[in-house]
Copies of this chain bind each other. A is one copy, B any other.
Amino acid sequence: MSKLDKKQAILDTALTLFVSQGFYATSTASIAKQAGVATGTLFHHFPSKDELMNHLFLNIKQEFADAILASIKDSGDLKKDAKHLWTSAIQWAMDNPLKQEFFQQYSMSPSISTEIREQAMNSILGFMGALMQKGQALGLLANYPLTLMQDNSHGQFLAATRFFLDNPEKWQDPQHQEASFLLFWNAMVQS
């Protein structure tokens, strides 16, 4: 096993165990053991358990952001673009259930330092913010305060991914998929 393999094995194992047992219930010794390395090795790659957690969090956030960024389109039809974005985001969650679960569990937990958490939130909500401002400028979306709309959308996204993660077969159902998007979109529409 090469160096990179060991570091990656530690990260992979940590993700699995943090999600299934929780951060505090997972000992560094158990991560090392299940990753097939010595306890000391974990601390060669990460200065502390907290740093391992933050590293993991930033890694996953970046993966998600990259996936979303790659799926952004500008077709001229804002609603269509928004639907594409919404669907891509949930699809990523369905494709990466462990990572999404990790996000759900730790994006609001004190196990992750505040600055890291906020940094992650901003970068993701940034996409949505830009889209919303565009919609407002076009008169498609209501002129609600932007930060309120952003937080609301984030809450809807967390609820939607939790729902579909718990009921994966429903994500295959076009009615559910469509309803999920409309709940998100109509909330903001100029009525």
Which B residue's beta carbon lies closest to that of A158? B155
State the Cβ distance, A147 to closest chain B Cβ, in Å: 7
Question: How many A residues face the partner with a CB closer than 8 A?
Answer: 42
Question: Is B105 touching A176 in the complex (CB atoms < 8 A)?
Answer: no
Is A110 part of the contact surface with B, judged by Cβ < 8 Å? Answer: yes
Within the oligomer, what is the number of copies of this chain? Answer: 4
Q: Is the interface of A mostly helix, strand, loop or mixed?
A: helix
- Given A152-B183, A156-B156, the answer on whether A109 and B109 have CB atoms closer than 8 Å is yes
Q: Which of the residues B24, B176, B184, B188 comes within 8 Å of A145, measured between beta carbons?
A: B176
Q: Which of the residues B25, B104, B149, B183 comes within 8 Å of A148, measured between beta carbons?
A: B183
- Given A24-B24, A109-B105, A191-B186, the answer on whether A151 and B163 have CB atoms closer than 8 Å is yes
